[in-house]
Amino acid sequence: MERAELIDRIWERDPTLWTGRDEARWLGWLDEPHRMRERVPELRALAEEVAGEGLDTVVLLGMGGSSLAAEVLRRTFGASSFHVLDTTHPQAIRDLEGRLDLERTLFVAASKSGSTLETRSHTDYFWRRAGQDGSRFVAITDPGSPLEELAKQRRFRRSFAGEPTIGGRYSALSPFGMVPAALMGIDVDRLLASAEALADACRRDDGNPGYELGSRFGSGWQEGRDKICIAETEGGFGLWAEQLVAESTGKQGKGLVPAPGESPEGPDRQAAEPRLPEPYALGGEFFRWEFAVAVAGAYLGINPFDQPDVQAAKDKTNQVLATGQDPRLENEGSIDELLAQAREGDYVAVQAFVNPSPENESRIQQLVCDLRARTGLVVTHGYGPRYLHSTGQLHKGGPNTGLFLQVVDDPGDELPIPGRPFGFRALLRAQAAGDFESLKERGRRVARVHIEEI
């Protein structure tokens, strides 16, 4: 296909560029930079109002597409009073709560569907802890969702409507990314201006930055270079890009494997360098990568906007929870046995259902280095359950080239979730057990070890 034709068909919302199914329904992100600039006064008003009332700490309760852009913005701009809670580990929740002055904290519940189990559980937990004061809660969700209804019932300070034609992983420049940005004190208009300029550039035939990146991804995949080695940035851009690439392309036995921080040297790898000369370039870079992945999807011949295998782990989790039993997360296999199954062109994925404390982060990083040295393969890692909303689709629906090492810890005492027959400990362990079984059902190579043993 000619370059100009491919670009034109994206902007014309032509679903036959991909699979001819429902792709046209999910292209609202093309217009979002312009649309959100019209809402900047609304976002500024919220930030000024909150600051004026002395709410000087913000906690975002969200998963995947509802949290990763905010996390990258937080790191990039050094927003030390902004926190992202995207773990169900009870000790991590206790640790965060211990650092908060609840009377000076605003909670932002973000869920596109409005029914995300982790987000609703976090919201109910802190609703009780914060004295059921609606003025200290904001919702970001699609119109008509259960979360929108909850926000009305509990009289949340605000409820921001997302754009229904934008999927979660394409929502960085929507309210899911821009409301948090405003609450961090970022100049949202400047951030969106960067995105709008990039969107204009992505209409061009020549010098189109999104097309150039995406066609490189796609042609590289056709040549067997399916590992996208994303260069490290100070703000951890790869954390957001990882979900975009993995969830968009990892299906039908195909997929690009995002590998933040990995060396691009190798026959199955290609380099990807985020363009971030200054922090506000992040707005444009979000759009460039969104457009690029849409382009790459045309090369792979898949629908880059669905996630057909994500539900599998959720269903398994619910089955475990329904038993009312605490899952037995025993060791299964070993690292040596798992690595003995490695083949050329594979990758290793460390799936850590542990408290993401500095100590554990150090241990996981050392494990990644050891696995890389032992195998010579690309090694990725993610924390559960966050990665279930990010790379989980690739793990189950992409090529069977992954070696999956689940790492677990003892989550400690149960932490009850108001209104639920289970607490965060049971939920975390059910998520680990559910994903492990889902991978096994798909014939993936898996092993489980405890963090004390690595």
CA–CA separation, 49 and 229 (whole Å): 42
Q: How confident is the model at residue 1 (pLDDT cuts 50, 70, 90)?
A: confident
**Do residues 227 and 378 make contact, with C-beta atoms less than 8 angstroms apart?**
yes
**Domains of the chain in sequence order:** 3-30+191-300 (3.40.50.10490), 32-186 (3.40.50.10490), 310-453 (3.40.50.10490)
41: buried, middle or exposed (CB in 10 Å: 19+, 13-18, 0-12)? exposed
Predicted local confidence at residue 20, as pLDDT: 97
pLDDT single digits (tens) 173-209: 999 999 999 999 999 999 999 999 999 999 999 999 9
Share of the chain above pLDDT 70, in %: 100
If you average pLDDT over residues 34-56, what whole number do you get? 98
What is the distance between the alpha carbons of residues 97 and 62, in angstroms, rounded to a whole number? 16
Residue 322 has a pLDDT of 94
H or E stretch at 101: none
Pairing of strands 105-110, 57-61: parallel
How far apart, in whole angstroms, are the C-alpha atoms of residue 63 and residue 349?
Answer: 20
Cα separation of 257 and 240, whole Å?
14
Residue 326 — pLDDT band, cuts 50, 70, 90?
confident
Identify the pLDDT of residue 100: 98
Q: ω into residue 41 within 30 of 0, thus cis? A: no
Q: What is the mean pLDDT of residues 136-158?
A: 98
Looking only at the bridges linking them, the beta strands covering 57-61 and 82-85 are: parallel
Beta partners for residue 106, in sequence order: 58
Distance in angstroms (rounded) separating the CA atoms of residues 42 and 110: 17
- Is pLDDT of 14 > 90? yes
Other CB atoms closer than 10 Å to residue 345's CB: what's the count? 16
What is the pLDDT at residue 439? 97
Distance CA 281, CA 267 (A): 31
User: If you ran DSSP here, which 8-state letter would residue 170 be given?
Assistant: G
> What are the backbone dihedrals phi and psi of residue 353, each rounded to the nearest 5 degrees, phi first?
-95, 70
Q: pLDDT at position 312, please?
A: 83
Burial 357-371 (b: 16+ CB within 10 A, else e): eeebeebbeebbeeb
What's the rounded mean pLDDT across residues 403-420?
97
Would you say the pTM of this structure is higher than 0.75?
A: yes
Residue type, 71: E
Strand, helix or coil at 406?
strand
Region 43-62 average pLDDT = 98
Mean model confidence pLDDT for the chain: 97
State the average pLDDT over residues 329-333. 97
Pairing of strands 445-450, 82-85: unpaired
Tell whether the model's pLDDT for residue 313 goes beyond 90: no
Q: Is residue 169 over pLDDT 90?
A: yes
Give the C-alpha separation, 432 to 326, whole Å. 12
Separation between Cα atoms, residue 102 and residue 30, nearest integer Å: 38
The DSSP call for residue 360 is H
